Chain A
Amino acid sequence: MSAPAVPRNDVGDPPLIERAQAIAQQVSARGEEFASAGTLAGDVVEELRTARLFAMAMPRELGGLQTSMTTIAEVIAELAYGDASTAWTALIGNTAAFLSWLDPAVARTIVADDRDLVLAGSMAPTGRATVTDRAYLLNGRWPFASGSRHADWMIGGFVVHDGDRPVITAAGTPEMRIGFFPAASATIDPTWDVIGLAGTGSNDIIAGDLTVAAEYTAVPYAATPAVVSPLTMLSPYNILMVLFAGVPLGVARRALDELFSLAGTKRRPGQDGSFRDDPVVSDFAMSAEPALRAARLLVLDTFAGTEQRLQKGDDLAPRDRAAVAAVVMHAMRVGRDITAQAYRLGGTTATSRTHPLRRCHHDLAAAAQHIAFGTDLRRRVGQSLLGAPPTPALFGV
């Protein structure tokens, strides 16, 4: 098997962050359009693809950019500054990097030479499959499949069954795998009628009696990846957290900027002076600005340090791996709080459905509901920081 041709430019000119800024500017006022369509517009998906923003997490060996973790965070933050659904769609598309857990020869049959792959779907093991002749017969429904409307391939987590009973592994747990299948072989149930991140097309996807060859399935929770890059040396959960990091940073930055511009002009009934003169507003600015900067610098510092060690070939201690997730959880909590407060301080002006502060608040609150930030993950990450033996972080495998 020969290595795939990689005809596309690498970071190129202009650099990724500038490309992200240009797209952010373009989508900044299109949030309503994406929300009412329930998905990103096709032209924006193609812009992201052309700018190679779906290929950041993919290892070079599979034709990706293998972008540094800090740049990924900054690119996603720039996109999120413009529109959170755009950023979310871009980052979920980057989970194509999970192909690294397949045999590279198989992975190369999925990635195309001339266009970056966009992946959608869910690793949540809500599907079930029975073993047939070196394949799995897969049935399942996966909610929250962001990017369902434009994905090339899909991913679905499942529990292997023997008849009606789950197959139990040597470790005593049900055998869970993920399967990759072409998007066209799944159906979409248009369930995505939501209050935030409405433009991400995170519908349910359904597989019915779908045959997935065994080599198109993997156990990423436990096995090491077949294709190695600094990023894929992290767990799939941590890869996801690296991809998420820019969302709270970018959305909260936008919310702060929106509030600050409102503060110079807005007047409140019964009050003298502008909104800026209100002590509540100045106190918020005083605390939110350093809190957001601190959260951002912590993410960038942790990512840079982690990447440096991975590039040197150091093995990361469980506590160091937990720290990668913890700083993103921190950024999400800080960003969500700041954005919610900015929305509240914006008063009735901000409660208009089309106001940017409203969109920032609902989008980031929606992002924070992702299972990766849920209580179960907080507990696991916290236990690792406390020195407990690590458990696979997502879906309890």
Chain B
Amino acid sequence: MTTSNSITTAGGPARRPAARPADPCAAATKLHDELSDQADDAERLRDLPDNTVRLLREAGLYSLALPARLGGLEAPVRTIIATIETLTHADPAVGWSVLIGQGSAFLAWLDPEIADEIVAVTPEPIVASSFAPVAATPSGLGSYRLSGRWPYCSGITHAEWIMGAFLAPQPGGPPQMRYGFLTTCDLAVAPTWDPAGLSGTGSNHIQVADVLVDEAYTTDPRTEPAREPGQLYRLPMFSLLMVCMAGFPLGVARRALDEFHTTATVKSRSSSRRPLAEDPYVQADILHAEAAWQAARAGVHAAADELWAAAATTTPSPAVRARFAASVQHAMRTALDVTDTCFQRTGGGALYRKGFAQRCWRDTQVAASHVVFGAESVRRLGAALLGLDVPSALL
């Protein structure tokens, strides 16, 4: 048995304190080309290279949603969305790693003293997460012993902490889902990640074998109010997750379109010998793809503004949350369509690994396989829009 959340064992390699960017989106833009250039390396490693993580961390980009009191940026939702969009445009695997790596947001739900301890030992921590619960047994002295598997833990090799779900037994009732903060150094990473896309995210499974977590390091952000007062933490867990996700489909689709614009003016297919841009099918397709992207982006922004305005005073209503989540679902569907159009219209050259057309296409499809974009999630949001009673924790 190991004690995973003992503070003394926590901490990654020593690092420079992050320079606090006035504008994280500008910081992401500054890194854009360098991040784009490392995409092949990340794909080969099936994880972000250490240097990439260092750059992102030094720019404060893993701390977009970390409470300001704990040293984070506590950025408004529009800033989070724009920053993830920019990073995803550079390399979708970077965008995904960083959006999933915003788990430090949930330190806002921990006892402030515990949260203080965590950032004292690991300033601006990278917190991975897994929401598929493992089994737990009470272990006296207010702690749980966890055993099971956390699948698809993106960025786990770079994270100092993981927020992992478990089923806490309740006397005389069904177990309740809770989330425990554990240091990653005692967890076994199973090198299972060999995917069709988003390869650079290092989304390996974790074997949790009889690991102890102290009750004080656990919370349930789905049902408990945050301990930090900021506007961002009035968003329920699911909304906060969707805020982090929103920039991904916008960034990946924009990159596919930008790549296609370059290709279309210089490339011709040998059957016609005219640039792709002069092909009437391409012209019609690109119009629809561009308009779909603009509309999806405008929809996300409008719904995000509504969500953010509501959070200024209170927890946004289920209808407002459902509208925002629906805009992100729509953006992902649009990204699937746009990246497929760009891929198809690029022709045979799209097949080569060296190009971005196939990367955007593959990565979008793997991102869309995340459970929040699954059929069940879509139906739940649809039910909420229709005014049905949907469990608040899932909205």
Query: Which of under 10, 10 to 19, 20 to 34, or 35 or more describes the interface residues of B?
Result: 35 or more
A362 touches B196 (CB 8 A): yes
Query: Which of under 10, 10 to 19, 20 to 34, or 35 or more describes the interface residues of A?
Result: 35 or more
Name which of B270, B279, B343, B352 has the most chain A CB atoms within 10 A of its CB: B270
The verdict on A108 contacting chain B, using a C-beta distance below 8 Å, is no
A193 touches B279 (CB 8 A): no
Instruction: List B residues 255-278 near A (Cβ within 8 Å).
Output: 269-273
A195 touches B353 (CB 8 A): yes
Report if A365-B343 is in contact (Cβ < 8 Å); known contacts: A370-B348, A375-B281, A378-B281. Answer: yes
Report if A376-B353 is in contact (Cβ < 8 Å); known contacts: A348-B369, A362-B196, A369-B344. Answer: no
Query: Bound complex: CA of A343 vs CA of B165, how far in Å?
Result: 28
Query: Bound complex: CA of A194 vs CA of B350, how far in Å?
Result: 9
The verdict on B371 contacting chain A, using a C-beta distance below 8 Å, is yes
Q: Which residues of A contact B50 (CB under 8 A)?
A: none
Name which of A191, A280, A368, A369 has the most chain B CB atoms within 10 A of its CB: A369
Q: Which residues of B contact A394 (CB under 8 A)?
A: 271
B376 touches A268 (CB 8 A): yes
B194 touches A352 (CB 8 A): yes
Query: Bound complex: CA of A129 vs CA of B87, how far in Å?
Result: 48
Query: Bound complex: CA of A141 vs CA of B339, how far in Å?
Result: 29
A369 touches B348 (CB 8 A): yes
A352 touches B196 (CB 8 A): yes
The verdict on B63 contacting chain A, using a C-beta distance below 8 Å, is no
Query: Bound complex: CA of A362 vs CA of B348, how far in Å?
Result: 13
The verdict on B362 contacting chain A, using a C-beta distance below 8 Å, is yes
B271 touches A191 (CB 8 A): no
Name which of A354, A362, A371, A376 has the most chain B CB atoms within 10 A of its CB: A376
Contact string against B for A residues 331-352, beta-carbon threshold 8 Å, 1 for contact and 0 otherwise: 0000000001001100110111
* B12 nearest CB across to chain A (Å): 28
The verdict on A271 contacting chain B, using a C-beta distance below 8 Å, is yes
Query: Bound complex: CA of A194 vs CA of B353, how far in Å?
Result: 5
A376 touches B279 (CB 8 A): yes
A351 touches B195 (CB 8 A): yes
* A248 nearest CB across to chain B (Å): 14
Instruction: List A residues 355-380 near B (Cβ within 8 Å).
Output: 355, 358, 361-362, 365-366, 368-371, 374-379
* B252 nearest CB across to chain A (Å): 15
Q: Which residue of A lies closest to B394 (CB)?
A: A270
Q: Which residues of B contact A269 (CB under 8 A)?
A: 132, 371
Contact string against A for B residues 354-391, beta-carbon threshold 8 Å, 1 for contact and 0 otherwise: 10001000100110111100111000000000000000
A143 touches B152 (CB 8 A): no
CB < 8 Å neighbour of B271 from A366, A369, A374:
A374
The verdict on B92 contacting chain A, using a C-beta distance below 8 Å, is no
Q: Which residues of A contact B121 (CB under 8 A)?
A: none
A344 touches B358 (CB 8 A): no
Report if A369-B351 is in contact (Cβ < 8 Å); known contacts: A278-B375, A353-B194, A358-B196. Answer: yes
A195 touches B351 (CB 8 A): yes
Q: Which residue of B lies closest to A346 (CB)?
A: B369
* B176 nearest CB across to chain A (Å): 15
Query: Bound complex: CA of A57 vs CA of B196, how far in Å?
Result: 35
B273 touches A396 (CB 8 A): yes
B281 touches A366 (CB 8 A): no
* A325 nearest CB across to chain B (Å): 13
The verdict on A196 contacting chain B, using a C-beta distance below 8 Å, is yes
Query: Bound complex: CA of A350 vs CA of B365, how far in Å?
Result: 11
* A373 nearest CB across to chain B (Å): 9
The verdict on A260 contacting chain B, using a C-beta distance below 8 Å, is no
B374 touches A268 (CB 8 A): yes
* A35 nearest CB across to chain B (Å): 12
A344 touches B272 (CB 8 A): no
The verdict on B282 contacting chain A, using a C-beta distance below 8 Å, is yes
Instruction: List A residues 233-286 near B (Cβ within 8 Å).
Output: 268-271, 278, 280-281
Q: B residues touching A (Cβ–Cβ < 8 Å)? A: 132, 151-152, 194-197, 269-273, 279-282, 336, 340, 343-348, 350-354, 358, 362, 365-366, 368-371, 374-376
Other contacts beyond A348-B152, A348-B371, A371-B269: 8, CB < 8 A: A269-B132, A269-B371, A271-B376, A351-B196, A351-B369, A354-B194, A374-B347, A375-B280
10 sample A-B contacts, Cβ–Cβ < 8 Å, listed by A number: A144-B348, A344-B369, A348-B151, A348-B369, A351-B365, A362-B362, A369-B344, A371-B270, A375-B280, A375-B281
